[in-house]
């Protein structure tokens, strides 16, 4: 039986405090020397912060080969999250997603995944040469948003591709949609395939009550968890969780292919401290978050025109569960794209939400929020409806367009390419990414056929104010297509 560790400990934080107390004279990097060499930076970030922005050394361990305090901190994280092992990640969850795919797959291997994955997953295919077998997610026709993968669709993909190495699952999606992860894990394992879970938005599943099940509790082999998103650590800090007897040494070697050798101790210590906080207080933290979100959801739905969706989404074959901490709001009912409301909230009301697409917005509510903050958001949405609402006729009505994949992402990305104006690219194979950020889910990926619908969507999204990224041409007037 696994022995639970004392979660009130924070070994990495304690080691950094001891380092400060020892008043070590630094003749190593970083060159700001605890802030003394850059007074303006010290003034901006604070002396306490810069005093622990240090380099790897024996008393502080080394992320690439942890044997002491980082090792202890990772063991505590694994215990808290119910994993066999946890890796601290300082390159963002992107590095964790890449490590999952590159651990499971080599060049030419197939991996089953939904097409509405984050760009980091498709970038992983470009890096390692794996070939995607896309499962089109379900779609909610009213909201126009992609849902999860149905178990039946995953089963069909497995039966058609019995040599695939893994099944990749988004859980939850940006909108809060969860697939039937437990059933997918059982199905994949029965066919000798690993299950990799992009759990970037699911830290709270491990600690809250009444929430969808976590990847580790469902038996997944690997999960990438953005502790910074809803768990309180610093931006860019994350966890990679593994179980089922995976080779820890091999996974660490894969991580070392893309993760920095100069790990930030600010990020590492924030993971250690946040894990401690969640392990000790996570239950009450996320109970409070749920109360705030449910209150906001109810108030927004009373305004009229908006639709803040919740548990009623469940019951569809592609929606096994809904993450009730997500404040996802459908906006087309008031004749405004989500990105338009996103801009209005920031520019006119001083409120920064997570993202807006062409029909929805997402506001992240966390332990750092309170009733007054939620009231301010609800009031601003009421004012926007009263002052800015329009006739919704003619608005683009869906976020997900089924791709036509005709070449592997790696082959298309490295192929000879030419630039064409967007409208003239219809019919060609895409040689780069086109996506709105956030959320960072590609509209087009390398190897996909460019269609009129996709170009119409892209131009519409730009006109509404979405930030398009992924293309070499920053002006987004031309696109790289595969030559020939």
Question: C-alpha angle 98/271/3, rounded to 5°?
Answer: 95
Taking only Cα atoms into account, the Rg of the chain, rounded to an integer number of angstroms, comes to 23
Give residue-wise pLDDT tens across range 95-122.
999 999 999 999 999 999 998 999 999 9
Residue 147 CA to chain centroid, in angstroms?
A: 15
Residue 127 CA to chain centroid, in angstroms?
A: 19
455 and 402 Cβ atoms separated by less than 8 Å: no
In the chain the domains, ranked by start, together with CATH numbers, are 58-261 (3.40.640.10), 283-388 (3.90.1150.10), 409-482 (3.90.105.10)
In this prediction, residue 2 carries a pLDDT of 52
> What gap in Å lies between CA 90 and CA 94, rounded to an integer?
10
In this prediction, residue 3 carries a pLDDT of 54
In this prediction, residue 394 carries a pLDDT of 78
In this prediction, residue 199 carries a pLDDT of 98
**What CA–CA distances, in Å, run from 287 to 281, 324, 365, 392?**
10, 11, 12, 36
pTM: predicted TM-score of the whole model, two decimal places? 0.95
What is the maximal distance between C-alpha atoms in the chain?
68
Q: Which segments of the chain have a pLDDT < 50? A: 1
In this prediction, residue 1 carries a pLDDT of 40
In this prediction, residue 298 carries a pLDDT of 98
Give residue-wise pLDDT tens across range 123-175.
999 999 999 999 999 989 889 899 999 999 999 999 999 999 999 999 999 99
Residues in contact with 263: Cβ distance below 8 Å, sequence separation at least 6, in sequence order: 56, 62, 63, 64, 88, 90
In this prediction, residue 440 carries a pLDDT of 84
Residues in contact with 307: Cβ distance below 8 Å, sequence separation at least 6, in sequence order: 143, 301, 329, 330, 333
Q: Look at residues 171, 169, 281, 149 and name the one whose alpha carbon lies nearest to residue 226.
A: 171
């Amino acid at each position: 039986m696994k022995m639970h560790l004392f979660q009130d400990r924070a070994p990495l934080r304690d080691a950094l405090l001891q380092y400060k107390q020892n008043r070590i004279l630094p003749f190593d990097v970083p060159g700001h020397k605890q802030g003394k060499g850059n007074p303006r930076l010290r003034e901006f970030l604070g002396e306490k912060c810069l005093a622990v922005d240090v380099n790897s050394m024996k008393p502080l361990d080394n992320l690439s080969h942890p044997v002491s305090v980082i090792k202890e901190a990772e063991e505590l994280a694994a215990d808290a999250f119910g994993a066999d092992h946890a890796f601290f990640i300082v390159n963002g969850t992107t590095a964790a997603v890449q490590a999952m795919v590159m651990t499971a797959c080599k060049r030419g291997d197939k991996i089953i995944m939904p097409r509405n994955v984050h760009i980091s997953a498709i970038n992983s295919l470009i890096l390692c040469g794996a070939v995607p077998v896309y499962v089109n997610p379900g779609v909610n026709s009213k909201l126009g948003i992609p849902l999860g993968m149905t178990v039946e669709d995953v089963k069909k993909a497995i039966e058609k591709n019995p040599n695939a190495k893994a099944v990749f699952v988004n859980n939850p999606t940006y909108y809060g949609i969860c697939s039937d992860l437990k059933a997918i894990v059982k199905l994949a394992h029965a066919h000798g395939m690993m299950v990799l879970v992009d759990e970037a938005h699911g830290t709270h599943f491990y600690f809250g009550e009444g929430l969808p099940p976590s990847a580790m509790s469902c038996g997944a082999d690997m999960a990438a968890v953005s502790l910074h998103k809803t768990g309180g650590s610093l931006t860019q800090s994350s966890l990679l969780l593994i179980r089922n007897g995976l080779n820890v040494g091999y996974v660490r070697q894969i991580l070392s292919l893309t993760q920095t050798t100069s790990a930030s101790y600010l990020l590492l210590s924030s993971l250690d401290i946040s894990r401690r906080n969640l392990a000790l207080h996570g239950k009450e933290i996320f109970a409070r978050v749920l109360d705030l979100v449910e209150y906001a959801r109810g108030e927004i739905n009373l305004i009229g025109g908006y639709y803040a969706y919740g548990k009623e989404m469940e019951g569809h074959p592609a929606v096994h569960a809904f993450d009730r901490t997500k404040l996802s709001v459908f906006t087309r009912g008031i004749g405004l794209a989500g990105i338009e409301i996103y801009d209005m909230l920031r520019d006119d009301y001083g409120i920064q939400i997570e993202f807006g697409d062409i029909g929805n917005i997402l506001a992240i509510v966390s332990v750092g929020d309170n009733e007054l903050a939620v009231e301010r958001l609800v009031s601003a949405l009421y004012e926007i409806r009263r002052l800015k609402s329009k006739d919704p006729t003619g608005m683009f009505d869906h976020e997900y367009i089924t791709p036509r994949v005709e070449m592997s992402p790696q082959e298309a990305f490295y192929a000879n390419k030419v630039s064409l104006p967007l409208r003239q690219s219809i019919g060609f194979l895409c040689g780069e990414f086109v996506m709105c950020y956030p959320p960072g889910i590609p509209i087009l990926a390398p190897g996909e056929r460019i269609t009129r619908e996709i170009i119409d969507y892209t131009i519409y999204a730009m006109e509404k104010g979405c930030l398009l990224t992924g293309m070499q041409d920053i002006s987004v007037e031309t696109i790289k297509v595969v030559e020939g």
